[in-house]
Structure 1
């Protein structure tokens, strides 16, 4: 124990860095435990859509969406969603909503906003559309 105290006394900057890193790790862990937004995999997405009437919203660019998307998904304008403009989505407030972007990062932020706006079941496809393609699941194309 004396060695730890001596180390802390001789290396205050390094000690502060370690404390900050530990606090960030704990904070991230706690945020994940208490988050109402669930990350799901492609198989769970399929179950939500087929068994619970979930709706997939694709947040990628319109051109990417038109080129290739999850069948039955609808396009969501990211800029409007970032401004908490969820007009026209009121009918989905109590239904499962699955958000898809390229990697899952953009969708996570929008999912949090949707939950705060009163949407009860908001999910994010972990890994985004890339995870769907990697899983070898079917896609649709066209407008």
Structure 2
């Protein structure tokens, strides 16, 4: 062990770019983990969403493009275009205390923005399907096709 500690300064000196890259990646990971602790919505896995569906019947909102929604969506999910998504609408106002799960095709863009907007509007039980509908399909869970 002491041999490694003696050679460490030499390694750092000889591989400064490698060490700097490692430090940057480490800091980025720490910042992302800390940020996830402070956000006010949860990220659910497909298995977690299945449990939530079985226990609490959440309102599921799919923000995928309409063509993607017609190809495959989580059964029971309602399609809403991101351009028409309004957490202050009368339809959603009644669901502020209910669990709400937002999802999109890949879980990267629209769902995260929608979750932030829901939290800001006062919704208390907001979740995002991590990986989106693609993760749901990859987990080989059933999908619905068509408009409903």
The alignment's TM-score, normalised by the length of structure 2, stands at 0.74
Could you report, residue by residue, the CA deviation over 1:89-125 in whole angstroms, capped at 9, with x for unpaired residues? 1111111111111111121222122112211111111
Report the CA distance shift for 1:87/1:77 in structure 2 as closer, same or farther (over 3 A): farther
What SS class does the counterpart of residue 126 from structure 2 fall into? strand
1:86 correspondence with 2:87:
yes
CA distance in 2, matches of 1:21, 1:68: 35
Q: Shift of the alpha carbon at 1:80?
A: 3.6
* Aligned residues between the structures: 140
In structure 1, the partner of 2:100 is 97
| Alignment RMSD | 2.6
Structure 2 unmatched ranges of 5 or more: none
91-100 vs 27-36, which moves further: 27-36
Map residues 13-92 of structure 1 onto 2, 5 A cutoff: 20-81=24-85, 85-88=86-89, 89-92=92-95
Report the CA distance shift for 1:11/1:41 in structure 2 as closer, same or farther (over 3 A): closer
CA distance in 2, matches of 1:113, 1:53: 21
